[in-house]
Amino acid sequence: MLREIVFFTDSHARGEVTVFDTTLRDGEQTPGIAFTFEQKLEIARQLSAIGVYQIEAGFPASSKAEKETVSAIKKLGCEAKICGLARMTKADVDACLDCDVDMVHVFIPTSDIQRVHTINKSREEVLAISDKIVRYVRDHIALCMFSAMDATRTDRDYLIEVFQTAADAGATIINVPDTVGVISPSAMKQLITRIAREVDCPIDVHCHNDFGLAVANTIAAVEAGASQVQVTVNGLGERAGNADLAQTVMIMESIYRINTGIRKERLVETSRLVSRFSGIAIPPTQPVVGDNVFSHESGIHSHGMIKCSETFEPGIMTPEMVGHRRRLTLGKHVGRHAVRQMLTDAHIDPSDGQLDTIVEKVKAIASKGKRVTDADLYEIAESAMGIELSHKMLTLQDIAIMTGNHVIPTASVKATVSGNERVHSAVGNGPVDAALNAILGVIPSRIQLKEFNIEAISGGSDAMCHVTIAVEDEHGRIFDASGSGDDIVLSSVEALVNAINLINRA
């Protein structure tokens, strides 16, 4: 059915495009980001596990620590090929070779503006250096990527000459970087078409997002024959970043039907891992991986979604495909069908009149800008229906938390769980983490924390805070609840206990 309504570019029933990830190189050049050694290894493992073909692990000549990191990543024995970046000098190439990389990526500025202002070499000198260094790389190693830095602002005839020189010297792939993110998709298509026609070498493309066109330009290059794309997780990178991995992959797979070899069902998990390590939050509206991508709030959309999920989603991209989840959210646009569905899921069955009351109440709370959690909904239903629904699995009795500059944050709890008294203690990164870990430790079922959100309601260090927590039970069902007060740890504990107590009722 979908085949009829979606426009596929037929010329792209064309085999495979490989993914080259530069999160650890260009991504790490994002202002304000510095991954730790351990985080870099973890990211490399993840990228390899999801099927990235090549990982640019770093720039070994830039520092001793960088060189050690690239070596360590290579030693992980990942399935992905490991690449190191080098300027066009033997010393830089040697630094890569010392790390035992699978491929050396050499680059040199070719646009007049960068050539004159950064390396101060003539066009002829750039050709001679490229020839010499690419040959040097190939004398030592099987794979060499050649980048003409600022290719999109380079005189076209000269650019062809540069790429021909690199290909003749033995470059195994040529990279066309839109270094400052200034090309348009149609111009990119023309440029790649010409290079593909005149230079006999596979083409890779590296696009920047200064005008928000990184992904579009990458796709345009693929349309014109590029066989590899450079991306970063969450689009990290210098300035406005690079082409986003999840978006680029899903466009190729779902719209163009190109096989990328990526395990798409792990895209959301990968995005969250890098978000956590980089400290850069994913906006809710971020394509593919954002929280809102498969969330539906308005009455008309939710009603459609309940009947057929393809009504208000792309269909060719589902939450299951990318490791996401679909959810109906409660807000001021919510409709009767969505509320009825959410209550049915929790085995709550109001009459039509009671449902009207519940919907009105939800809308009233939401219009004040407050998030309506599952716990709020059940409470509203209880009062509208005049019944007591709750059977609390978990009742907290005591909690004690220790934290300081020379101790590992530790928490111990005493609680009643389904009538039995239980005690547990746990450590954490901080007092909140320790407290939540201790509570999760007293309950028998496997419950995971999926979301933790804290808001300071008023300014100052005595601010009231409001914590919202979502938990996932062993069946993959998600419940959210909140807690508030003037103690950040106790508010978090309250939110978690409330969320856990929702699980039994569903």
| The token pair that represents 494 in the structure block | 């309250």
Bridge partners (DSSP) listed for residue 398: 414
Which residues neighbour 60 within 8 Å (Cβ) at sequence distance 6 or greater? 66, 67, 70, 71, 84, 85, 86, 92, 95, 96, 98, 99, 101
> What radius of gyration, in Å, describes the C-alpha atoms of the chain?
27
Q: Smaller CB distance to Mn ion: residue 26 or 66?
A: 26
In one-letter notation, the amino acid at residue 438 is: A
Shortest Cβ distance from residue 178 to Mn ion (Å)? 9
| The token pair that represents 84 in the structure block | 């190191």
User: CA nearest 470: which of 442, 502, 438, 439?
Assistant: 502
Q: Smaller CB distance to Mn ion: residue 57 or 439?
A: 57
Shortest Cβ distance from residue 45 to Mn ion (Å)? 23
Q: Smaller CB distance to Mn ion: residue 179 or 247?
A: 179
Angle at 295 between CA 293 and CA 301, to 5 degrees: 110
Shortest Cβ distance from residue 5 to Mn ion (Å)? 37
Residue nearest to Mn ion (CB): 26
According to DSSP, residue 89 is labeled S
Q: What is the DSSP string of 344-385?
A: HHTT----HHHHHHHHHHHHHHHHTT----HHHHHHHHHHHH
The Cα–Cα gap between 412 and 433 comes to: 12
Shortest Cβ distance from residue 149 to Mn ion (Å)? 9
Q: Smaller CB distance to Mn ion: residue 242 or 260?
A: 242
Shortest Cβ distance from residue 180 to Mn ion (Å)? 9
Q: Smaller CB distance to Mn ion: residue 176 or 385?
A: 176
Which residues neighbour 154 within 8 Å (Cβ) at sequence distance 6 or greater? 110, 111, 112, 148, 162
Q: Smaller CB distance to Mn ion: residue 26 or 56?
A: 26
Bridge partners (DSSP) listed for residue 84: 58, 104
Shortest Cβ distance from residue 242 to Mn ion (Å)? 6
Q: Smaller CB distance to Mn ion: residue 66 or 472?
A: 66
Q: Smaller CB distance to Mn ion: residue 26 or 253?
A: 26
Shortest Cβ distance from residue 226 to Mn ion (Å)? 16
Shortest Cβ distance from residue 31 to Mn ion (Å)? 13
User: CA nearest 497: which of 398, 382, 430, 372?
Assistant: 398
The Cα–Cα gap between 249 and 432 comes to: 37
Shortest Cβ distance from residue 28 to Mn ion (Å)? 11
| The token pair that represents 271 in the structure block | 């995005």
Q: Coil, strand, or helix at residue 109?
A: strand
Which residues neighbour 69 within 8 Å (Cβ) at sequence distance 6 or greater? 37, 40, 57, 58
Please identify which residue in the block is written with the tokens 């978006």.
247
The residue ranges that bind Mn ion (CB under 5 A) are 26
Q: Smaller CB distance to Mn ion: residue 26 or 376?
A: 26
The Cα–Cα gap between 435 and 432 comes to: 5
Angle between helix axes 64-75 and 90-98 (nearest 10 degrees) is: 40
In one-letter notation, the amino acid at residue 409 is: P
Shortest Cβ distance from residue 20 to Mn ion (Å)? 12
Shortest Cβ distance from residue 238 to Mn ion (Å)? 6
User: CA nearest 214: which of 176, 184, 190, 193?
Assistant: 184
Bridge partners (DSSP) listed for residue 107: 87, 147
Q: Smaller CB distance to Mn ion: residue 26 or 204?
A: 26
Shortest Cβ distance from residue 57 to Mn ion (Å)? 15
Q: Smaller CB distance to Mn ion: residue 148 or 322?
A: 148
The Cα–Cα gap between 204 and 222 comes to: 9
Q: Smaller CB distance to Mn ion: residue 66 or 480?
A: 66
